[in-house]
Chains A and B, each alone.
Chain A
Amino acid sequence: MRRSLFAGCVLSIVLLLTVSACSSGSSTSSTSTSELSAPRGYKPTPVRKTDTVSLPDYATDPNGAQFAFKASPGDLLVVFFGYLTCPDICPVTMADIAAGLEEVGAEIAGHVEIAFATVDIERDTGPRILDYLTHFFPNSKVHALRATDSFQLYGVTYQFGAQWQVDPHEPGATTYGVAHSGLTYVVDDKGQLVWELPFGTTGPEVAATLNALMDTVYPKS
């Protein structure tokens, strides 16, 4: 009798333990792919400089401080052009990059900065972009970028080779279509565009790419 009581106790403890392991496992199930992923994307040629253009950054100054597209020394700057009411492409890309940073580890992740530049300057505000970035990257240095007008934005996207288009709409309209290229750009500390990731690059592939870029862009000699 005592034995079965003991066994019952052990059983319930084991069950409890496994269930808790189970629930924590399910939250990360989306990233449970093979351990070794290959880097994805391509190196743009010829070399394009991006620190010749800048946008107001609302992460450092509530009134927007000009930020030239260049990483801090030894860092990689990850840049995406999107918009906040984007239902699918933008949050998927942000989630994939966040998963990549998680996987690559704090050492490298600490040297990756994330910039999100809105192509929907009418609806998106600097503080809301910062709010959005903080949701995905609570531990990263972020840049919440919003151009003051479409002319300034176009100058920047031209330099990156990014495309965007806001559908014609009545002034003050809240629902209108926005199209944009789904590429993610990586810039080094010299202000050079060193890599482009296609849409759909998974977390493990982001991690593999960042790992490889750190080695090639900043070789330890």
Chain B
Amino acid sequence: MNPRLLSRPMALVALTLIAGLALAASACSSSGSSSSTFTSKNIVVSNVWARESAGSTDTGAVYLTIENNSATVDKLFSASVPQSFAKSASIHEMVMAAGSTATTMAMESASSTTMGSDSSSMMSMKEVASVAIPANGTVTFEPGGYHITLTGLAAPLKVGQKFDINLGFLNGGVMKVTATVKAP
């Protein structure tokens, strides 16, 4: 459409359209990246989410980003949820475990494949006592790394659902954060 052919009202509409789009786009990006952040002293927690439960499974994982804005290292040492929500919440790390003799034999049968050491060993979850958050650093809990495991969920997690978790930091104190359930 030739802009010169636009009548006055049409131009007004076009202008409004552009303004509207710009407004909406900015609103969109701000809501998309950082849904909500939680601050306690020098600790900022953001992007707290859990995956929707698959079928009747009663285990869940919570992922989040922890930012330490102080000049000293901090530690996340606890995570908890109400008993009525899930039987337990604990900080887990995915670790590579060496196979037992029997299972190592299975791998030897496939030893001609050029598997990296990462993929040839087993993955398991290890509960950790604490996670260090470096001074002026960020630690991201994400799939394949750290996560907060929820066991014995009273009800399956549904997309859009929100729930609270209490996080305990050595210097940052105890803070309540809200997780949002997302689709896979």
Contact = CB atoms under 8 A, between A and B. Distances in A.
A98 B54 CA distance: 13
A94 interface: yes
Nearest to A89: B123
A135 B54 contact: yes
A37 interface: no
Contact of A198 (B54, B118, B122): B118
A196 B119 CA distance: 10
B59 interface: yes
B144 interface: yes
Interface residues of B, number: 60
Given A162-B106, A179-B122, A29 B99 contact: no
Given A11-B16, A46-B112, A181 B120 contact: yes
Most buried by A among B61, B99, B102, B184: B184
Given A42-B114, A87-B60, A92-B143, A181 B184 contact: no
Interface string B56-74: 1111110000000000000
Nearest to A99: B184
Interface of B: 9, 12-13, 15-17, 19-21, 23-25, 27-28, 31-32, 51, 54-61, 92, 94, 97, 99-100, 102-107, 109-110, 112-116, 118-125, 143-144, 147, 149-151, 182-184
A154 interface: yes
B120 A158 contact: no
A163 B118 CA distance: 13
A41 to B, nearest CB: 9
Interface in A70-93: 84-89, 91-92
Contacts of B124: 165, 177-180
A104 interface: no
A46 B111 CA distance: 10
Interface in A152-174: 154, 157-158, 160-165
Ordered nearest first, which 9 A-B pairs have the shortest CB separation? A161-B110, A95-B184, A179-B124, A131-B55, A18-B24, A14-B20, A22-B28, A179-B122, A87-B61
B125 A91 contact: no
A220 interface: no
B92 to A, nearest CB: 7
Contact of A181 (B28, B119, B147): B119
A181 B51 contact: no
Interface in A17-47: 18-19, 22, 25-27, 29, 42, 44-46
Given A22-B27, A26-B31, A136-B184, 18 more contacts: A3-B9, A10-B13, A11-B19, A15-B24, A25-B32, A27-B182, A84-B55, A87-B150, A91-B184, A98-B184, A99-B184, A154-B102, A154-B106, A157-B103, A163-B99, A177-B124, A178-B124, A179-B122
